[in-house]
Amino acid sequence: MNDIVPPAALTAASYKSAYKPIWCPGCGDYSVLSSVTKALAKVQVPPHDVVVVSGIGCSSRIPAYTSCYGFHGVHGRALAAGTGLKVARPELTVLVAGGDGDGYSIGGNHFLHACRRNVDITYIVMDNHVYGMTKGQASPTTEPDWDSKLSPGGTGIRSFHPLVIALASGANFVARAFAGDPNGTAETIAAGIRHPGFSFIEILSPCVTFRPDQREWKQYAHPAPVAPTDDPARAARRIMTDDGFNIGILYAGDRKPYPAHRGDGKGTPAELETEFEL
């Protein structure tokens, strides 16, 4: 008789850590965390083969709330760390996560070049159009007329458009999701993980503390009425002309990912060091 018991399927709970999030109650990031764990359960990659890399900000606390390996890095440099990790350890599933300030402002340049390089990682941006952790400053995606004591009358500065920037820079998978749709977001994240190359997923994640007006997002968000396209020009037109609340995969390209590290990854630190000797 065969006594070998097949391993139990991984569930969303398999990817949660014992740490409780310290986000404000009502924050969309709770929902995104739930979506990330559900997505990982869908792709069934063991937690020890997943690394969640982040920068700085409320949303960048997410690695600690998963049971995966994590790297809570330097402000704006999550993509640099995640890219290096994936190139060195291509067998790992690398998720990079953060917010709009971390990703589009401090890390804006890394964002462009991560899209361009097309390394096989998934970048999740929890976009709430504000710097929440530092108490409500305008971020790159803040509307120009958003009035606050910190920017009376609004900044008057045109908002950054991450989806079209990602597309123009070469991201191979571009999607928009909404924290109020955790199951749909999980599907999108799973699709992004499975898709080869750089997958960019912008998640509208309301900040109920500094942007309580964003509670209205759930009235605006709606599934994209058309299927994903692999035509960047068509995708760009859709993204540039939609209402900003089109939820779903908007572009899925077939560009070849950046080749992984050629080495076998088995070198000792001493052997690796010799490669860098001057």
Partner 1 sequence: MSPATKKRGSAAKPAAGKALHAASATKPRSLPGSKAGASGPSPKARRSLDEFMAQAWAMEMDAAQRYSDFADAMETHNNLEVAAMFRTMAQYENRHALQILAEMGWTEPPVAPGSGFAWPSFEAPETAPIDEVHYLMQPWHALQLALAAEERAERFFGELAHAATNESVRRAARELQAEEREHVALVKAWIKKVPKPDPDWAHDFDPARYTD
Of 100, 102, 127, 181, the residue at the interface with partner 1 (CB under 8 A) is: 181
| Contact status: 209 vs partner 1 (CB under 8 A) | yes
- Of 50, 176, 39, 59, which Cα lies nearest the Cα of 107? 59
Closer to partner 1 by Cβ: residue 41 or 53 = 41
Residue 104 or 217: the one with the smaller Cβ distance to partner 1 is 217
Count of residues of this chain found to bind partner 1 when the rule CB under 8 A is applied: 33
* Binding positions for partner 1, 102-141, rule CB under 8 A: 135-136
Q: Write out the binding residues for partner 1, residues 231-250 only, by CB under 8 A.
A: none
The nearest distance, CB 157 to partner 1, in angstroms, is: 17
State which of residues 103, 180, 197, 253 lies at the interface with partner 1 (CB under 8 A): 180
Q: Smaller CB distance to partner 1: residue 55 or 182?
A: 182
CB of 246 to partner 1, least distance (A): 14
Question: Out of 144, 153, 212, 267, which residue is the one contacting partner 1 (CB under 8 A)?
Answer: 212
Quick check: 215 binds partner 1 (CB under 8 A)? yes
187 sits near partner 1 (criterion: CB under 8 A): yes
Q: Residue 243: name the closest of 194, 176, 148 by CA.
A: 176
Determine how β-strand 69-72 pairs with β-strand 246-252. Answer: unpaired
95 phi and psi angles, rounded to 5 deg: -110, 130
Quick one: 118 or 214, whose CB is closer to partner 1? 214
Q: Which is nearer to partner 1, 127 or 187 (CB)?
A: 187
Residues at the site binding partner 1, with contacts judged by CB under 8 A: 20-28, 30-31, 34, 135-136, 148-150, 178-184, 187, 206, 208-210, 212, 215, 218, 221
